[in-house]
Amino acid sequence: MLYPHIHTGNNNNNIYIYIILIIGLCLIVHIPQGIAQNQSDIQLANEYLLKGDKEKALELYRDLAKNDSNIPFIHNNYLNTLLDLGAGDEAQNYMKRVLRRDPENIQYKADVGIIYVRTGELTKAEKYFKELINSYKGNVSRSKMLADYLSGKSLSEYSIMALTECRQAVGNPYLFCLELAMLYRIKGEKDKMVQEYLNYVTQNSANIQYVKNVMQALLTKPDELESLEKILYERIQRNPDIDVYSDLLIWVTMQQKNFYASFIQARAYDKRYKKLGERCMEVARVALDNDDYENAFRSYQYVAKEYPAGPYYLQARLGLVKTREARVRNTFPVQEDSVRRLIVEYRRFIEEYKDNPNAHEAQRSEAMLYANYLDEKERAIDLLQSLIDNPRASLQVKSKSKLDLGDIYLLTGETWESSLLYSQVEKALKESPLGYEAKLKNAKLFYYRGNFKLAQEHLDILKEATTREIANDAMELSLLIKENIAFDSAGEALKAYASIELLLYQNKTAEALEALTNLREGYVIVPIYDSKVLIQYDWEATLFKSKIGETIEVAGRAIRKPVSNHAILDDVYWLEANLRNQLGEHESAIGLLQRILNEYPEDVLADDAYFLQGEIHERGLGDRDKAMEIYREFLTRYPGSVYAAEARKRFRALRGDFVNLEQQL
């Protein structure tokens, strides 16, 4: 017996089992050889095709096509090769044969129309596809399969037709929204794409953040955002009860930095949907971040007045003071009496709402005013230390206070104390935005001290694992270091530039300006010590030392040492232009910005420089006509700039587009 382990009570059954097993063995022996031969020929044909030898490939495909079992493996390549070689009639005959074999195959049916397209018979193709689409329009799954296949063949128009006909036939206007949005995007029909995304978000308001993210990525030009705004207004008029349209309208006006329109819409939204000022607070925060103090103040003031018992009242009250502070800080030169008035406002708020988290934030702001603008650093340190020691203060507030305290020590030149505090926060709040901010501050500290290697190590981590804002700052500083070290391995010019940035941070404006002027002219200042003492300069520690290691006092003399500043000169122009603008030297600032445009027209700072020229003419010199001219030209020269939306908004404001906007809205 061949299989003694098989036992049954019936001998006939045993015979049948033996026969089946023998047939199975024969199949195992013979079928794989045929399959192996076919697979070998298919692979060879495909290799010919890859090499561009289509005639040899076609010969093999023809032979393989005689066996129906090979069709699924060669169909696409065989049909495309026939069409590439102009064998349209043969392709039609081939399709008739495969459709007789598999008459319900959607792909094969679509390929008949594709043959018409490829052979230039477009009228036949149009008629055929319409009939095919019509035959499936009542079947959602088959219409979707057909549309996907046609889209993959770059026949977007027919793919759209298949989906829209099906949508109409089944009576569901919200069917295939995402699929159609993608197809319209491919075709460049962004208005129709937007309409489909709006249809999608109408089905479920939970989809709104996804739609915002997509639109932020795809609608990058001002006219595209204006078109979206117009579409939203039309939809709101037709469907005033659909809240997502109002939500998106607030969002799109903020994308355009038209914060007045954002406030008007947010005010209506909060009132209609009883949000107690939530959206107005969002507008206020974003407007303040974008230096639109007027509309930030307007939004905070509205919430504080209209919702005194609401959850955002104290935040709005504090926001009003913060907005005043931002305006004072960015009005040059900063007036001491304005700073002291702000401190009084903060102190009043703190006394009124003791141990409230908002009062803790107010105390932090008060401390930094003392440190940055009144040079009362001990008072600032006491205020921050009291927050750090306050058992009622949250970990977030204590950590922020430590960062503030580190910043003050940096102002006083106690860099090791700064680094210690930054490191404490970094360790306590790993993988959090505040922890990343602490790491970035440490990286900048190493940069200021000329330790570029250690700074780069921190920055490399931050570029990969942090919030977008901090990642961008890390990337910017990292590129500055890499670009300049590439041309100057010793980094002398970059060290001088970093030291100037530290001087500016420490409010040593006169010293920074002198150092900038020297660096622009190709020099750095190096002090000279008593020539009888053998000394060396330790760039890492930024100290002068004798051979035995003791620090030597400066003798009051210095030399101008030549350095190669070409790699960093554009940054020097930019830094000095901003500084002179703050000092009210507007013409000098414009001249430095023009040097960037003349000497570095393709530089990443070129659009920054051009935009700032417009801002100086508008706000510094009061030349509205010149500012309008610059903003108009800016939009032509730099349409993809991050300043494009702001330039467009300012141009429109100067032109008077926003006059009586509230009545229009």
Distances (CA, A) of 537 to 352, 461, 491, 518, 543: 54, 31, 14, 20, 6
Closest CA to 512 of 579, 584, 582: 579
- The pLDDT score that the predictor gives to residue 172 is 93
pLDDT at 533: 39
Residues 6 or more apart whose CB falls under 8 angstroms from that of 244 comprise: 201, 202, 205, 208
Q: Tell me the HSE value of 285 on the side-chain side, using a 13 A CA sphere.
A: 9
Task: Say what the alpha-carbon torsion angle 537, 543, 549, 553 is, to the nearest 10 degrees.
Answer: 100
Count Cβ atoms within 10 A of the Cβ of residue 301 and give its class: 0-12 exposed, 13-18 middle, 19 or more buried: middle
Identify whether the C-beta of residue 155 lies closer than 8 Å to the C-beta of residue 114.
yes
What confidence score (pLDDT) does residue 113 get? 94
- Separation between Cα atoms, residue 301 and residue 308, nearest integer Å: 11
**Integer angstrom CA distances of residue 237 from 64, 199, 204, 232, 241:** 62, 16, 20, 9, 9
Q: What's the CA gap between 267 and 279, in Å, rounded?
A: 7
DSSP string across 156-199: HHHHHHHHHHHHHHHT-TTTTHHHHHHHHHHHT-HHHHHHHHHH
pLDDT of residue 659: 60
pLDDT given for residue 204 in this prediction: 83
The two structure tokens encoding residue 567: 């790699």
Q: Which residues of the chain have pLDDT under 50?
A: 1-34, 529-556, 661-665
Q: Which residues are paired to 492 by β-bridges? A: none
Q: Is 554 helix (H, G, I), strand (E, B) or coil?
A: coil
Q: Are 518 and 506 in contact (CB under 8 A)?
A: no
3-state secondary structure of 390: coil
Domain extents in the chain: 605-665
Side chain identity at residue 654, one-letter code? L
Quick: pLDDT tens for 283-335: 999 999 999 999 999 999 999 999 999 999 999 999 999 999 999 988 877 89
**Beta-bridge partners for 561:** 524
Do the beta carbons of residue 440 and residue 458 sit within 8 Å? yes
- Residue 45 is predicted with a pLDDT of 87
DSSP state of 353: T
Other Cβ atoms less than 10 A from the Cβ of 153: the count is 17
Residue 277, both tokens: 């000022």
As beta bridge partners, residue 527 has 558
Handedness of CA 61, 62, 63, 64 (dihedral sign): positive
CB-CB neighbours of 662 under 10 Å: 11
Q: Which residue type occupies 268? A: A
**DSSP structural state of residue 130:** H
User: What are the φ/ψ torsions at residue 330 (nearest 5 degrees)?
Assistant: -105, 20
The rounded distance, in Å, linking the Cα atoms of 284 and 259 is 8
Q: Are 113 and 129 in contact (CB under 8 A)?
A: yes
User: Which long-range contacts link 374-381 to residues 24+ away (Cβ below 8 Å)?
Assistant: 374/336, 374/339, 374/340, 375/507, 377/408, 377/411, 377/412, 380/408, 381/405, 381/408
| pLDDT for 355 | 85
Listed in sequence order, the DSSP H helices in 333-414 are 336-352, 357-373, 377-389, 395-411
Q: How far apart are CA 38 and CA 17, in angstroms?
A: 31
Phi-psi sector, 413: left (phi>0), alpha (psi -120 to 50), beta? left
pLDDT in tens, 122-136: 999 999 999 999 999
- Residues whose CB is less than 8 angstroms from the CB of residue 350 and which lie 6 or more positions away in sequence, other chains included: 359, 362, 363, 366
- Please give the Cα distance from 249 to 232 (Å, whole number): 6
